[in-house]
Amino acid sequence: MVQIWLGMNVLFVIAVLVWSWQKESISIIIDLAKLTSQTALILFLVNVNMYFIFLVIRKSKVRKIKVSLAKISRYMMKAHIPLAVTGTSLILIHAVLMLLYHTLSVIHIKMLSGMAALFVLAGVLSSGYLRHKKASGKRRKWHLVMAFIFMGVAIIHIFN
């Protein structure tokens, strides 16, 4: 099951890379913006996958799997906030680079979905901050829901 999930993640990243780089290069600014956003996507994907690791820990009946995933999750939890901050920084760089190349006078679906993704990302970060300050089941669920909404909006933005 874990191998299938890892394979799906790898295939998703490959699909994003192929989709993004299939078009002819327009500008070095666009290429740099693509690179920053793809790096951020991988960081966010690692963070979202933490949910599935915890899910397997809870649902698995095999003790060996639970123990090995629990060890991995300890390291992932320590990296969760730094990965999120780094990913957010890269997304902001991506947004600035894209705005430098494309002016706001040309509003299209790609730009609107990017703005929506930024808006939802702000919700993910604020819910994560609140959860970090005082953890509760309600805050955990809200942070989780916001993270999945963000990934959905980001996927719409990527494949637009």
Mean of per-residue pLDDT scores for the chain: 90
Percent of the chain exceeding pLDDT 90 equals 58
Identify the band that residue 25 occupies on the pLDDT scale cut at 50, 70 and 90.
confident
Six token digits for residue 93: 């760089």
CA distances from 112 to 37, 117, 139, 157, 159 (A): 16, 9, 28, 8, 13
Q: Is the pLDDT at 27 greater than 90, yes or no?
A: no
Domain count for the chain: 1
- The token pair at 94 is 């991506």
Q: Residue 116 domain-assigned?
A: yes
Query: Which residues make Cβ contacts (< 8 Å) with residue 77, sequence separation at least 6?
Result: 50
Q: What span, in angstroms and rounded, lies between the C-alpha atoms of 137 and 124?
A: 16
- Cβ atoms within 10 Å, residue 132: 12
For residue 141, being part of any structural domain is answered with yes
Give me the residue label for tokens 């989780």: 144
pLDDT band at residue 115 under the 50/70/90 scheme: very high
In the block, tokens 């006078």 appear at 105
Domain that holds residue 149: 103-160
Cα 32 to Cα 40: distance, rounded to the nearest angstrom: 12
| pLDDT attached to residue 101 | 85
Amino acid identity, position 125 = L
Residue 138 inside a domain? The answer is yes
- Does residue 153 lie in a domain region? yes
Residue 64 maps to a domain: no
Confidence of residue 153 (pLDDT cuts 50, 70, 90): very high
Residue 59 lies in a domain: no
**Residue 119 in domain:** yes
pLDDT digit string, tens, across residues 91-108: 999 999 998 888 776 678
Write down the pLDDT at residue 4. Answer: 84
The pLDDT confidence band at residue 1, using thresholds 50, 70 and 90, is low
Task: Report if residue 53 sits inside a domain.
Answer: no
Cα radius of gyration rounded to whole Å, the chain: 17
The answer to whether residues 149 and 121 touch, using CB atoms and an 8 Å cutoff, is no
pTM: 0.88
